[in-house]
Structure 1
Amino acid sequence: MDVTLLGTGDTTGTPTPDCDCDTCRRARERGVERSRFSVHVHNERTGESLLVDASPDLRSQLLTHEVPLPDAILISHIHFDHLDGLGNAYRLLEDVPVFAADETDPETGQSVAETVAEKYHYLDAITVEPRSPFEPFEACGLEVTLVPVEHPPLVCYGLAIEDPETGTKLSLSGDSNYGIGADSRDRLRDPDLLFVDGIVPSIHAEHHPIGGDHPDAEGTYRTFGTKHMTIEGARVLADDLAADDYRIVHLSHYIPAGEAFADDMAVDGERFSL
């Protein structure tokens, strides 16, 4: 697998427009960007490519990083920064399956697959393909499994992507807090590479209206609010899952500039060969 991080930021990205904070300034000085989340997975054996999540920045990501157009797409959940780039399929792609979970979200009364099909009913280029969590399926010659995670109030899914011939494995936590269940952790465990959600350092929980959650024995929050892991939580999860290598993604510009570009914090365009 050849894996390219197309987008590694949160909903506003880094640099954030009209922001002159130290972290955004440092990103501009370094010439790096964290656009909205998306991952490109190329199977060199079959020549096919799987796109994980359709960032609103997808057009510029494809141009900047010069990756092949996707042969299949997977949508992890229905938040705009993971879904709204799907409109780029219009006059760009044709006959592309879009995989998404089939279980009903109590919050919306629809599955992710149903929401995608309803919102993009006008796109003849795509066909929504519902899939059940924990049940592996084939996409682009790879074995893919949707793994339920915790991103309230909506359902959301991480991923395990494995090459059936080489045994290499890419895991993605998806947008999630630290409270990922044991069955999901087991399915994500032992990856060659992990992309793990982490939005801010734990100290920022004091600025969240409801604080943090999942504290460790020293009181360090591993969840910021309810939806995302802290940087500390992401690192603990990477260790718990025994990842050979990992990058923290979905990063915000609220990480102090002196910490925001540590080696384990992803930036757009990083490439990995598994």
Structure 2
Amino acid sequence: MRVTLLGTGDTTGTPTVGCDCETCETARDRGLERTRFSVHVENERLGESLLIDFSPDFRTQFLREEVPLPDAAVVTHIHFDHLDGLGNAFRVFDSLDVYAADETDPKTGESVAQTVASNYDYLDLLSVHPTTPLESVRVCGFDLTLVPVEHPPLVCYGVSIEDPETGGKLSITGDTSYGIPDRSRAVLADPDLLLADAIVPAHLCEYHPIGGRHLDDDGVPRTFGTKHMTREGALSLAEELNADRTRLVHAAHFYPADEAFEDPLALDGETYTL
């Protein structure tokens, strides 16, 4: 299993358009990027690949990294920075299988799969596969499982991807607070590589209108507001999941410049073989 981090940033990416903060200027000076979130997973044994989420930066990411176009894809939730890149499939693919959860979202009245199918009904090449969370499906030779996480007000899912031949395992938290249900944690546990949402360091929670949540024993917030984990929350989760290696993704440009590019914060283009 070869994993390429196509996009490791949050909804605006780093550097952010029109921003001259020290972090964005440092990224420009050093030629570093965190585009909107997306992960490419290649099964080199079968010559097939899987895409997790359709970043609006799809075209740039695939041209830059020169990875194969995916044979199948997953949509974790319907926020634009994870879905709107699907329009790039027009005239690029002959066909594409897209997997998304079949649970009805009380906020929208339809499942993620239904939203994808209705929003992109003009793409005849798409085959949308409604997928039941916590039930494994075989995709590109991998065992793929969607797991519910906490990203209000919409439903959202993390992803476990296992190679049944080699035992390699990738876990992706999805966009989530630290309040991931126990049944989802059990599926995500013991990965060779964990990609964990970590939008900002915990000390920035004081700037959120509702502060931080899910405090640890030292009073450090593991959730920023309601939707995303802090850096400290993501690292706590990694320890609890017994992750062999952890990279922090969905990072915002609000990280101070002297912290923004330090391990284990990920950058676009990183590759891992599991």
Superposition TM-score tier, normalisation by shorter sequence: over 0.9
Mapped to 1, the partners of 2:112 and 2:206 lie a distance apart of 32
Match of residue 134 from structure 2: 134
Find the aligned partners of 2:215 and 2:108 in 1 and give their Cα distance: 30
SS at match of 1:121: coil
Deviations 1:165-195 (A, max 9, x none): 0011000000000000111101000000000
Q: How far apart, CA to CA, are the structure 1 residues paired with 2:190 and 2:126?
A: 33
Pairing 1:1-274 to 2, within 5 Å after superposition:
1-274=1-274
Q: Structure 1 residue 210: deviation in Å?
A: 1.1
Q: Say which SS state the counterpart of residue 84 (structure 2) adopts.
A: helix
RMSD: 0.6
Alpha-carbon offset, residue 26 of structure 1: 1.1
- Tell me which amino acid in the other structure corresponds to 1:103: E
- Report deviation, 1:164: 0.6
Aligned mates of 1:39, 1:193 — CA distance in 2: 12
- Aligned amino acid, residue 158 of structure 1: G
| C-alpha distance in 2 between matches for 1:263 and 1:213 | 24
TM normalised by structure 1 equals 0.99
Amino acid in the other structure paired with 2:112: V
CA distance, structure 2, for counterparts of residue 263 and residue 216 of structure 1:
22
Q: Distance in 2 between matches of 1:254 and 1:188?
A: 28
- The separation in 2 between residues aligned to 1:184 and 1:152, in whole angstroms, is 16
CA distance in 1, matches of 2:94, 2:149: 31
Inter-partner Cα distance in structure 2 for 1:262 and 1:236: 17
Matched to 1:181, the amino acid is P
User: Unaligned regions of 5+ residues in structure 1, if any?
Assistant: none
Deviations along 1:49-81, whole A, 9 cap, x unmatched?
Answer: 100000000000000000000100100000000
Which amino acid letter does the alignment assign opposite residue 89 of structure 2?
A
Counterpart Cα distance in 1 of 2:263 and 2:9? 15
TM-score by length of 2: 0.99
Q: Which amino acid aligns with 1:156?
A: C
Report the CA distance between 1:125 and its aligned residue: 1.5
Aligned residues: 274
CA distance in structure 1 between the partners assigned to 2:93 and 2:262 by the alignment: 36
What letter corresponds to residue 200 of structure 2 in structure 1?
V
2:219 alignment partner AA: G
Q: Which amino acid aligns with 1:92?
A: V
Aligned-pair distance for 1:204? Answer: 1.3
